[in-house]
Amino acid sequence: MHDACRARGLMERIAIEDIYPAVDCGRWPVKRIVGDTLEVWSDIFRDGHDVLGAALLYRRADKTCWRSAPMHHFDNDRWVGQVVLEEVGRHVYTIEAWTDRFASWRADTMKKRAAGDNIATDLVEGVDLVRSALARANAEDRAVIERLLGEYAVDDAKPSAGALLSEPLAEMMARTPVRADVTRCAQEFQIVVDRPIARFGAWYEMFPRSQGRLPGQSATFDDCITRLPAIAALGFDVVYLPPIHPIGRINRKGRDNSVTSTSSDPGSPYAIGAAEGGHDAVHPELGGIEGFRRFVAAARAHGLEVALDFAVQAAPDHPWVKSHPEWFLFRRDGTIKYAENPPKKYQDIVNLEMAGPSHEPLWQALSDVILHWIAEGVHIFRVDNPHTKPLPFWEWLIREVQDRHPGTIFLAEAFTRPKPMRALAKAGFTQSYTYFTWRTGKEELTDYALELAYGPASDYLRPNFFTNTPDILSPYLQTGGRPAFIVRLTLAATLSPTYGIYNGFELCEAAAVPGTEDYLHSEKYEFKVWDWDRAGHIRDWIAGINRIRRDNPAMHRIETLRFHHANDDHVLCYSKATPDRGNVVLVAVNLDPFATREAELRLSLDELGIGSEETVTLVEPLTGAEQRWRGAVQRVRLDPSINPVAIYVLRR
């Protein structure tokens, strides 16, 4: 809510308060999707009993002409206005209010007439108000007003109460109000309107160099192209690539993050930059820029967007270290300082001095990197560790890029504290990684999902539920076997409109470095050859879940999420529904990957749009089976080896 929009002058009598939506009193933009209806609320009032009018004003941020939508009195001086957001990009909105002289006159005059008072003089005053409105009305309204007055034979000498107090005339005058005490909120509020994929989409992460068939050898983008039909068949929307740039040779890491490497070790792709180029180059072994262009074109042909990793760091032999040493931090002995997050050490990576004396040309160079890849057809960027860089940089960079290329999406990989995570979303990040990876219990999943769906950050922080990452193989997945992977996939894909998996998830890859969340023999440090047909895979399950997501509009938003009571602490039950309840999806999940659970569900029938005595048909889209339910209390049996989750679509 926002309290700062009071009248600006001592004699301005209208107060405009508590504007919603507004993030930090309008300091940061709210986020919506093109096609959404922006609903704005405010408390608007003045002294006395005069009738007020109000309008929601909105425009593109790069335009000067305001468009207007009427606001309507809701209750207790609360007003609401709506506008459909038709363009991707940055917009602004504010509120204007006024005293409606004709509506005030009409209200008072009707009260006098009802009391039996002589209203002859009042009617003459009403004619004056109508005449003043005629001069400002458009041609269509002016013709209608004149016709209405003519029908009642209104003239200045003997005006007709029937004409002046009629509902049709009141409606016309509301469109051309006689305004006094006009007050506009001094604050303009920002809104970023994004593409639909900013809110709803499924991401697939893969290392390009590990998509081939020859052990110990880098795959190329042409090998990656052969993988695209399978990824598209699984129902993904975005294929996301870790850094594809030349990899530094100085302090190159070996297998399993060893500080020593051999000539056959490819190094970590996050050690960006070598003699072959930096952030705007493609590793030659992947096929160079021409190979990348073929890959982007092929992905597009399969209905996939390509997302690139944007890691603001460098290898010690990145070209910038020589050409711009002022962008880096050197120790007193003249050596360059490598990256650390004690006790972790990254000897193959050096950080950039983002707030140093030469930060302005550095920031511009990084912006140029993003613009370079946009020119190559990339419009989605996953940003590595943004919480370790200054917030003003991200605010500047994202605004700079999106002003030129509206619809560019930035995903914040910020596994950090809640407030810095929210601050990054405010600064402009389109989406954010979340704590979902570590939320495994019923209560913590419920609380966290509700916080994301309805909490204060819901107007600007969009969650992306990744099940796993190259750095995170959770204990739940390490120990829970195939059922754990099915459970986590279902939760990620049905709780959040946007989710992602890192390749190997579909194979239930669970080998970890003992006592850690790190993958054993991680492909961050070596070439891998995957057997995509390995026994125990869950490809069919993934394809089915993604098909359910696409086919059911209820799954496309998080604010439709509702939880229902289940009398077992290991069974989570929830639903999503479209506003008209025309599409309803119900999900029950056994969070225990080791034991069968039976639970009594107590459904909130009102939330599902079901009458208490109504019999409904529920279809299980994964199997085609149907059930008929009646009443709020139902039972489910969830066996991890057969059906660890149950998904139902309500058939009307």
Q: Which residues are annotated as catalytic?
A: 384, 413
Under DSSP, the state recorded for 353 is -
Q: How far apart are the C-alpha atoms of 532 and 503, rounded to whole Å?
A: 10
Q: What are phi and psi of 572, to 5 degrees?
A: -110, 130
Q: How far apart are the C-alpha atoms of 98 and 67, rounded to whole Å?
A: 17
Q: Which helix (H) or strand (E) holds 347?
A: strand 344-350
Q: How far apart are the C-alpha atoms of 491 and 330, rounded to whole Å?
A: 46
Neighbours of 605 (CB within 10 A): 16
Look up residue 182 and give its amino acid.
V
Q: How far apart are the C-alpha atoms of 14 and 97, rounded to whole Å?
A: 7
Taking alpha carbons only, the member of 222, 236, 403 closest to residue 297 is: 222
Look up residue 152 and give its amino acid.
Y
Give the C-alpha distances (Å, rounded to integers) separating 94 from 42, 56, 193, 349, 389. 10, 6, 16, 46, 32
DSSP string, 530-549: --TT-TT--HHHHHHHHHHH
Q: Which helix (H) or strand (E) holds 431?
A: strand 431-432
Do strands 201-205 and 238-241 pair parallel, antiparallel, or not at all (unpaired)?
parallel
User: Which residue blocks in 428-524 are alpha helix, DSSP H?
Assistant: 442-454, 475-495
DSSP string, 297-314: HHHHHTT-EEEEEEE--B
Residues 6 or more apart whose CB falls under 8 angstroms from that of 369 comprise 279, 280, 310
Residues 6 or more apart whose CB falls under 8 angstroms from that of 416 comprise 387
CA angle 284, 287, 288 (to 5 degrees): 60
- CB-CB contact of 450 with 19 (8 Å): no
Q: How far apart are the C-alpha atoms of 133 and 100, rounded to whole Å?
A: 11
Taking alpha carbons only, the member of 557, 611, 497, 642 closest to residue 36 is: 557
